[in-house]
Structure formats: C-alpha cells, structure tokens
C-alpha cells in the first residue's frame, strides 16, 4: 500500500515564451492537508491545472495511488477522484442546494424522463449531514452566505467520491468564525482520509491547519517542510527568496489634526444604520467587522455609489451633498474597491488610460480631443513614484499583477487630487511581497496628509495599519478603539455585539 495518493514528479510546462514550471514536484498523502504556497505567478495554479487536467504537461509524471496516470481532461481528473474548489465559486444562484450539487447527474425516474427531486434532496441531505453542515437541500443558493456556498462546493466535490480536494484560497471571502467552521470541516475530511491541497496567502492559517507545506517560486520547486518544523518567517523567506519589509510602521498619532470628513447618522437600507464617525487629516481609520457587517456598504454610500436614506456628510466642515460617485470625486473622495477588476479598473484599457480615467476632462481639450502625451507624462510620474511594474504605460491593465493593479487605482485617485481615500480590502488577492509595498504606500500617503479609510477583514492588517479602528456589526458602529488599546479580542467582542 502506497502512502501517497498523488505524486507529481519533475513536472515541466512551457507556454510560448515562458517556462512556467521547471521540474516541479509535489506529493499528497491520504488524510493530509498539504499547503501549496508561493507568490502570484510562482506556478501554483499552473501545477494544479495540470493535476486537474486543464493543461497538458510537457514533461514529468503523475502517479495516483502509486500508478502512473495521464490526466488529459478535467473530466478524467474528476473520474479519478480529484476535485478543485476555485476561489470564485461556480454555483447557480437560482437553483437549490441539491440541484447545484447534482447538476448534470440528477437521479431520474421513469426511464430517465423525470428528475427525482425527492431522492435528490435526500441524497444531498445525507451528504451534508455527513459533513455535519446544517443547510437545507431545498434552499436556493442565493440565500446562502459565501461561507455556506463554499460548503456546498465542498459537498459537491465529495459527491464525486473525491479523495483529493484542491482548495484555492478558500478563506479569502470568509470571516474569522466562518473560517473556524471551514477548518472543522477540513478536519473531518482529513479524518475520512481525504487528501487536501490547500492554497492560501494567509500564513497564520497554514500553521493552524496544514501538516506539510510545499513552497514554489518563479515556476520552480523550492522545498517541502513539515509544518511543525518551520516558522512562518522561514516560509516567507522561501517564498520571496529574500528578507521582506515588515511594514510595521510605528504610526505617529494625528490627534491634533483637523477633521476632514465627518459622517453623521448615515443610514441606508438595512445594511447601514445610523453610522457616525470622524476622519482626521493624515489619519488611517480602520474599519473592522465580520463579513456582511455593512462596512463596504458604508463606503459605497459615502461614495455615492449607493443611495443614502438619511444622514449628513461634512467635508472640511462644509456640508456636502453626494448623490453619485461623480459628486464624491468632485469633493475629493476616491474609492478603491475590494473587487478591483470589477469596480476599480477598466481591464481592457492600458495603464495610462486607467490612471487618467477619473480626470479625463483635464486630459482633453474643449473639442473633446484627447491629449495623450499629457496622459502619458502623468502616468509615467505615477509609474515611477508608486513603482508600478509594467513594461510601459501602453500595457493593458489586465496583464499586471494584483499588487500593481492596486497601484494603478491609487495612481488614478492621486491624479484626481483626491485627499480622502477609501481602501476596501486593500491587500485582498495580493501576495506577501506586494502586500508590504502597499502598506508602505499607505503610510507614505498618510504622511503626505491624505486621510484614509481602510476596510479590512484581516485583523492583523487592521491592527497594524490603523491609527483608530471603528468596529461594525449588523450595520451599526459597535466600537471605536484607538491603536494603543486595540487587540484582536477587543475587536471581535465589538464585531459580534449584536445587542447594540
């Protein structure tokens, strides 16, 4: 009996012009959680795409339970019992839980004419009960939280009798308590002998849940360690191949600086209830809370992206009316969405244009003709100062890495002279190296007198990067903590304070 379910040996993959994987190896044991980590572009997803039959390999061999196999299509992988749960969930919101799990494999009655939805629901129930998850199979997926939807994806994978489960950034959209629930399920799967490949950027998690870790860098296998024999710092060093800037800037306090933004009794629908706060010049104000606490909604409402029902907004002591993003921008507010690709950037256009996007009238003459040379001069300035890694300003934004895309959005608002910046999850989907660069940038912006609202679900990030922390729960502000008294525990207490 061989111990490992998966063994990938000397995997080689070339794309036209890039050597994406060079002799990479990976192995996974039965009932093991094996972390696969590396910076964006290190080759993790390419390796996993080869394992799941999305890409063909150019060299090397894959062994499944000791036997060499050719996995040349996703279907072949599925039939072997290898399933992947992508970061973006692939569920149909209008269908029920059971329908989603058994899509394309519905149990049939009467010679395959009718779907047997009773049996289907029963099967789904058993599956979910087995996982110890309390979700009704007849509920529509759109009514579930992201965490619950993820459980459904896991259940779906298990319904294929998968013995290998690949999870790509499973906790990216989850809150602390949801993560605990996910970890509980991972433990149960482990006990049942399922091998799990765990891809994540969150170092703290790896320690908690993983048995071994394989590190990749620049398409190469760097090494494999037992989790209990290695520190997080050592892992990071393996990942980036150098010491990284830690980013813990000792932030000076800005208590005496004037208030640039004051929000009074902001209310919008059910998600924002009577929210009041002040933001000072040069301050980084963190917004903490669980998923769905209403932080993003406050930001969108303040930015005019969503309508507000009542409440007042003062900028530099003057009352302002913000009915659309246009009004907000005119008042010097810039918003950096958590979903850069959907809300922050026009991916199909180049860097120059994206940086100019909020300031277009300045870059065109009275007849509407564009001044592309000025656009270029401006963009070049920010490519230099923000050190955006791009071959030229003509590069399409979709080809930049997450960290560099974030910098393009920052450049866009700096071009517009915005001095109040709202960062919603500023480092989501950004790898460790680029993360510390973003932190450095946040510090520099604050030092230059910009005022920053930073919404983050990562508590260490909030604690490290904020002067003051507002905590929200169910649409209300449930706590305000200054930097010197804030701890993870205090924040969590406020974040779960449903009585307020």
In the shown chain, the binding pattern of residues 438 to 477 toward other proteins, with x for contact by CB under 8 A and - for none, equals: ----------------------------------------
Backbone angles phi and psi of 66, in degrees to 5: 90, -10
Minimum CB separation of residue 356 from other proteins in Å reads 9
3-state secondary structure of 51: helix
Q: Measured from the CB of residue 301, what is the shortest distance to other proteins in angstroms?
A: 13
Which CB atom, from 112 or from 348, has the smaller least distance to other proteins? 348
Judged by CB under 8 A, the residue of 53, 81, 195, 219 near other proteins is 219
CB of 403 to other proteins, least distance (A): 11
Of 128 and 216, which CB lies nearer to other proteins in the complex structure? 216
Shortest Å distance, C-beta 259 to other proteins: 23
Give how far Cα 441 sits from Cα of 16, 113, 194, 203, 247, Å.
35, 61, 42, 22, 10
The reply on whether position 52 binds other proteins by CB under 8 A is no
Which of 160, 343 has the CB closer to other proteins?
A: 343
- Residues in contact with other proteins, counted by CB under 8 A, come to a total of 48
Which SS3 state, helix, strand or coil, does residue 95 take?
coil
Q: Per CB under 8 A, does 369 bind other proteins?
A: yes
| Separation in Å, CA 145 to CA 44, 65, 290, 363, 456 | 28, 36, 12, 43, 18
Closest CB to other proteins among residues 300, 468: 300
CA distance readout (Å), 225 to 10, 232, 388: 18, 11, 33
CB of 481 to other proteins, least distance (A): 30
Residue 349 interacts with other proteins (CB under 8 A)? yes
State the Cα–Cα distance between residues 338 and 87, nearest whole angstrom: 15
Helical ranges in 52-96 per DSSP H:
74-80
Pick 72 or 324: Cβ nearer other proteins: 324
Of 396, 483, 490, 497, the one binding other proteins by CB under 8 A: 396
Nearest distance in Å: CB 483, other proteins: 30
Site for other proteins contains 368 (CB under 8 A) = yes
Cβ-based neighbours of 237, under 8 Å, separated by 6 or more: 243, 244
Examine residue 104 and tell whether it contacts other proteins (CB under 8 A).
no
| Cα gap 430→402, rounded to integer Å | 5
Q: CB of 50: closest distance to other proteins in angstroms?
A: 13
Residue 189 CB, nearest approach to other proteins (Å): 30
Q: CA-to-CA distance for 26 and 365, rounded, in angstroms?
A: 58
- Applying CB under 8 A, which of residues 273, 281, 308, 412 lies at the interface with other proteins? 412
Nearest to 472 by CA among 495, 453, 499, 454: 495
Instruction: Determine the interface stretch with other proteins among 205-213, 287-295, 335-343, 490-498 (rule: CB under 8 A).
Output: 335-343
Distant-in-sequence contacts of 126-132, Cβ < 8 A, 24+ apart: 127/101, 127/155, 127/158, 127/159, 128/97, 128/155, 130/158, 131/155, 131/158, 131/185, 131/188, 131/189, 132/184, 132/185, 132/188
Range 270-309, binding other proteins (CB under 8 A): 303, 305
Q: Which residues in 224-263 contact other proteins (CB under 8 A)?
A: none
Q: What is the nearest approach in angstroms of other proteins to the Cβ of residue 86?
A: 15
Q: Which of residues 3-42 bind other proteins (CB under 8 A)?
A: 15-19, 41-42
* Min CB(201)–other proteins separation in Å: 16
Between 134 and 366, name the residue whose CB sits nearer to other proteins: 366
Interface pick for other proteins out of 192, 265, 326, 440 (rule CB under 8 A): 326
Q: How far is the CB of 346 from other proteins (least distance, A)?
A: 5
103, 118, 248, 360: residue in contact with other proteins (rule CB under 8 A): 360
Q: How far is the CB of 361 from other proteins (least distance, A)?
A: 7
Q: Does 324 bind other proteins (CB under 8 A)?
A: yes
Cβ burial of 104 (10 Å; 0-12, 13-18, 19+) is exposed
Euclidean distance between the first and the last CA atom of the chain, given in angstroms as a whole number? 58
Q: Point out which residues pair with 333 in neighbouring strands.
A: 420
Taking the C-alpha atoms of residue 144 and residue 94, their distance in angstroms, rounded to an integer, is 11
For the stretch 254-258, contacts whose Cβ atoms lie closer than 8 Å and that sit 24 or more positions apart, written own/partner, are 254/280, 254/281, 254/282, 254/283, 254/467, 255/280, 257/281, 257/282, 257/283, 258/316
Q: What is the nearest approach in angstroms of other proteins to the Cβ of residue 373?
A: 12
**Judged by CB under 8 A, does residue 364 bind other proteins?**
yes
| Cα-based distances in Å from 307 to 177, 278, 322, 471, 476 | 30, 20, 9, 22, 17
The tokens for 488 are 């993870």
Alpha helical stretches, state H, 133-231: 146-159, 176-191, 203-209
Q: Does 358 bind other proteins (CB under 8 A)?
A: yes
Distance, in Å, from the CA atom of 234 to the CA atom of 230, rounded to the nearest integer, reads 6
Residues with Cβ within 8 Å of 154's Cβ and at least 6 positions away in sequence, in order, are 85, 131, 165, 185, 189
Which of 415, 443 has the CB closer to other proteins? 415
347 binds other proteins (CB under 8 A): yes
Pick 19 or 86: Cβ nearer other proteins: 19
> Which positions touch other proteins (CB under 8 A)?
15-19, 41-42, 54-55, 218-219, 303, 305, 324-326, 328-330, 335, 337, 342-349, 353, 357-358, 360-361, 363-364, 367-370, 389, 391, 395-396, 399, 401, 412, 416
């Amino acid at each position: 009996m061989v111990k490992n379910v998966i063994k990938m040996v000397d995997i080689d993959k070339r794309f036209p012009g890039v050597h994406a994987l060079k002799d990479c190896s990976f192995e996974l044991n039965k009932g093991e959680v094996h972390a696969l980590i590396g910076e964006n572009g290190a080759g993790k997803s390419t390796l996993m795409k080869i394992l799941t039959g999305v890409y063909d390999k150019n060299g090397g061999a894959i062994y499944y339970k000791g036997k060499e196999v050719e996995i040349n299509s996703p279907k072949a992988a599925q039939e072997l019992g290898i399933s992947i749960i992508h970061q973006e969930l692939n569920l149909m919101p209008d269908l029920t839980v059971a329908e989603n799990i058994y899509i394309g494999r519905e149990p049939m009655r009467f010679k395959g004419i009718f779907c047997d939805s009773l049996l289907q629901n029963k099967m789904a129930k058993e599956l979910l009960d087995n996982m110890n998850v309390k979700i009704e199979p007849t509920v529509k997926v759109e009514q579930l939280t992201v965490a619950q939807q993820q459980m459904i994806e896991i259940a779906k994978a298990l319904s294929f009798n998968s013995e290998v489960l690949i999870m790509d950034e499973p906790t990216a959209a989850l809150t602390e308590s949801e993560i605990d629930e996910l970890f509980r399920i991972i433990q149960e799967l482990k006990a049942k002998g399922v091998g799990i490949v765990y891809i994540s950027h969150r170092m703290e998690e790896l320690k908690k849940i993983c048995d071994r870790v394989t590190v990749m860098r620049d398409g190469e296998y760097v090494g494999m360690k037992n989790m209990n024999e290695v520190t997080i710092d050592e892992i990071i060093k393996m990942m980036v191949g150098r010491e990284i800037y830690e980013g813990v800037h000792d932030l000076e306090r800005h208590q005496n600086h004037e208030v640039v933004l004051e929000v009074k009794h902001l209310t919008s629908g059910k998600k924002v209830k009577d929210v009041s706060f002040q933001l000072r010049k040069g301050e980084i104000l963190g917004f903490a809370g669980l998923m769905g606490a209403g932080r993003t909604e406050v930001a969108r409402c303040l930015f005019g992206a969503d309508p507000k029902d009542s409440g007042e907004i003062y900028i530099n002591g003057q009352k302002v009316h913000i009915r659309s993003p246009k009004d907000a921008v005119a008042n010097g507010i810039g918003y950096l969405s958590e979903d850069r690709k959907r809300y922050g950037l026009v991916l199909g256009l180049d860097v120059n244009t994206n940086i100019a996007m909020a300031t277009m009238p300045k870059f065109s003459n009275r007849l509407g003709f564009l001044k592309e040379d000025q656009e270029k001069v401006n963009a070049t300035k920010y490519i230099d100062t923000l050190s955006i890694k791009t071959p030229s300003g003509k590069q399409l934004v979709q080809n930049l890495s997450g960290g560099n895309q974030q910098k393009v959005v920052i450049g866009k608002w700096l071009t517009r002279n915005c001095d109040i910046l709202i960062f919603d999850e500023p480092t989501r989907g950004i790898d460790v190296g680029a993360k510390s660069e973003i932190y450095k940038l946040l510090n520099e912006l604050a030092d230059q007198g910009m005022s920053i609202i930073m919404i983050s679900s990562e508590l260490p990030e909030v604690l490290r990067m904020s002067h003051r922390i507002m905590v929200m729960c169910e649409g209300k502000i449930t706590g305000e903590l200054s930097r010197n008294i804030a701890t993870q525990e205090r924040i969590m207490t406020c974040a779960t304070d449903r009585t307020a």
